[in-house]
Amino acid sequence: MADEKEIINKLTSGEIKLHEIEKYTQSVPEAIEIRRKFMETVSVGKLDNVSHFSLDMEEAMKKNIENPIGAVQIPVGVAGPLKINGEYAQGEFYVPLATSEGALVASVNRGCSIIRQAGGATVRIIDDKMTRAPVIKAESVTGAMEIKQWIENNFNEIKEAAETTTRHGKLLKIDPVIVVGRYVYPRFVFSTGDSMGMNMVTIATETALRLLTNKTGAHVVALSGNVCVDKKPAALNLIEGRGKTLVAEIVITRELVDKKLKTTPESIVEVNMAKNFMGSAISGSMGFNAHFANMIGSIFLATGQDEAHVVEGSLGITTAETKEGNLYFSVTLPDVPLATFGGGTRLETAKECLEIMDVFGAGKVHKFAEIVAGTVLAGELSLMGALAAGHLARAHQELGRG
């Protein structure tokens, strides 16, 4: 085995690559330390804090990270208890939120308090699916139509091929099948159980495409043709849904709105119309909400979700109405990819945060989804109340963000 100085010199000269360090060391921790010390030679500062972590990095390197040098730390706060009246989540839950934005946890916590006093949030899962959409090239539009028709006429055969790769994934449909010129974009739609399922559906779709290629002679340009739509904002996902499609609602009495939010139902309705609907429309936004991304992002970071899917979770619609003089308030989230096992949920800190809500492991993803929707409702309600009452700037100033 080479010594530390020799390895760093070889890294500097380009004789060995960052991912090759483990070949020259006796252990993963030693390799991580050398890689970090090498990075300090190119950094303008030390990496002392990055070096402190409790994760089993050898285990993480199997599926979660390459070329590790340590770990970053994000403060984790807790909001709650949040009362959920769901089909899978019933009762009160404390929700871990990883964020460096002052006032966020406090705001969500206020929303949780109001929801609890109003009797709890009603939450339902409207749909549950994961998608992958390849792009296929034909010789002409006529050939493209033939491929489209073959897909539509042979769904059962395609489904059988796709499902040979997984015990948990089920191909539900291939829809839409879009033709652009001589290119075909079929959107494969799967159920994936308790895993988020992106890897699962990718492998299954690839297997199905081998069958299609053999039968039609089609040329697969790319396994992902961006009609999935993965990790990007898209009207298709807003309409069709992806991951978990969720709705959470609450009715809050006029008295409680006045006492806790210091405003009126009518003021919140007006702010919602002017900000979330008209403001979003004039700006071309696909997020007709105030800040879904805040709650989605902080929960995702705390629980080991794929952070790039925050862009999808930020899509959605907030509704506010007066109902018999009271406030009806709801959030609709059409596209929230979630997992309770596999992926980043394997990491020790993610597992612990999931366990706070008792949603780690198989059979828990729907319960987790309902808690996520309730948390978004709490944060959205609190911010809309603050805006309606004119308290937003004061809250941020008092909590360290002035």
How do residues 229-262 score in pLDDT, each as one tens digit?
Answer: 999 999 999 999 999 999 999 999 999 999 999 9
Based on the fold, state whether residues 243 and 380 are members of the same structural domain.
Answer: yes
- 335 annotated active-site: no
Tell me if 54 is assigned to some domain: yes
Do 286 and 262 reside in the same domain of the chain?
yes
Q: Which amino acid is at 268?
A: I
Residues 42 and 120 in one domain: no
In which band, very low, low, confident or very high, does the pLDDT at 402 lie, cut at 50, 70 and 90?
very low
Give residue 385's identity as a one-letter amino acid code.
G
Residue 227 domain flag: no
Joined together, the tokens standing for residue 391 give: 């308290």
Closest CA to 322 of 279, 392, 261, 269: 269
Confidence of residue 168 (pLDDT cuts 50, 70, 90): confident
For residues 169 and 334, the model is more confident at 334
Asked whether residue 258 falls in the same domain as residue 116, the answer is yes
The answer to the question of residue 237 being in a domain is yes
Q: Rounded distance, CA 361 to CA 370, Å? A: 16
Residue pair 381/395 in contact by the 8 Å Cβ criterion: no
Is 351 domain-assigned?
yes
Whether residues 247 and 363 share a domain: the answer is yes
Instruction: Tell me: pLDDT of 395 over 60.
Output: no
β-pairing, 326-336 vs 287-288, is unpaired
117 vs 381: CA distance, rounded Å: 13
What pLDDT sits at residue 400?
55
Rounded Cα distance between 223 and 300, Å, is 26
Question: Which pLDDT score is estimated for 396?
Answer: 57
pLDDT in tens, 35-73: 999 999 999 999 999 999 999 999 999 999 999 999 999
- Tell which of 193, 222, 251 closes a domain: 222
Residue 158 is part of a domain; what is its CATH number? 3.30.70.420
- Examine the pLDDT at 394 and tell me if it is beyond 90: no
Sign of CA dihedral 285, 378, 346, 238: negative
- The Cα angle at residue 323 between residues 317 and 324, in degrees rounded to 5: 175
Angle at 380 between CA 374 and CA 384, to 5 degrees: 145
What is the arithmetic mean of pLDDT over 269-283? 98
Identify which of 150, 194, 187 has the alpha carbon closest to the alpha carbon of residue 172: 187
Q: Is there a single domain that holds both residue 274 and residue 390?
A: yes
**Around Cβ 128, how many Cβ atoms within 10 Å?**
21
pLDDT tops 50 at residue 182 = yes
Among residues 101, 157, 175, 348, which one is catalytic? 101
276 and 365 inside one domain: yes
Domain of residue 261, residue span: 76-128+233-398
Residues 6+ apart with CB under 8 A from 14: none
| pLDDT, averaged across the chain | 95
User: How far is 383 from 378, CA to CA, in rounded Å?
Assistant: 9
Identify the domain boundary among 63, 94, 110.
63
- On whether both 163 and 272 belong to a single domain, the answer is no
Helix H or strand E segment including 318: strand 316-323
Running DSSP on this structure, what letter comes out for residue 151?
H
Q: Give the model's confidence band at 391: pLDDT under 50 very low, under 70 low, under 90 confident, else very high.
A: confident
Q: Tell which phi-psi region holds residue 396, choosing left (phi > 0), alpha (psi between -120 and 50) or beta.
A: alpha
How far is the CA of 338 from the CAs of 71, 79, 354, 361, in angstroms?
A: 23, 20, 12, 12
Name the residue type at position 187: R
Res. 194 pLDDT band, cuts 50 70 90: confident
**Number of domain units in the chain:** 3
Is 71 part of a structural domain of the chain? no
Predicted confidence (pLDDT) at residue 371 exceeds the cutoff of 60: yes
Q: How far apart are CA 198 and CA 339, in angstroms?
A: 10
CB atoms closer than 10 angstroms to residue 381? 33
Residue 97 lies in a domain: yes
Residues 81-135 have pLDDT tens digits of: 999 999 999 999 999 999 999 999 999 999 999 999 999 999 999 999 999 999 9
* Catalytic option among 127, 249, 306, 348: 306
Asked if 306 is an active-site residue, the reply is yes
Residue 197 binned pLDDT confidence (cut-offs 50, 70, 90): confident
**Within 13 Å, how many C-alpha atoms sit on residue 172's CB side?**
17
Q: Which of 127, 163, 352, 396 is catalytic?
A: 396
352 is catalytic: no
- pTM here? 0.94
Domain boundary among 63, 92, 110: 63
Shared domain check, 382 and 254: yes
Residue 196 lies in a domain: yes
User: Could you give the 3-state DSSP secondary structure of residue 264?
Assistant: coil
Read off the pLDDT of residues 331-346 as tens digits, 9 standing for 90 and up.
999 999 999 989 999 9
- The reply to whether 69 falls in a domain is no
> Is pLDDT at 193 greater than 90 in this prediction?
no
What CATH number is given to the structural domain containing 282? 3.90.770.10
CB-facing half-sphere around the CA of 222: CA atoms within 13 A: 8
- Considering the domain architecture, whether residues 32 and 163 belong to the same structural domain is answered as no
Q: Are residues 214 and 259 in the same domain?
A: no
> Do both 366 and 262 map to the same domain?
yes
- Residue 385 pLDDT grade (very low, low, confident, very high; cuts 50, 70, 90): very high
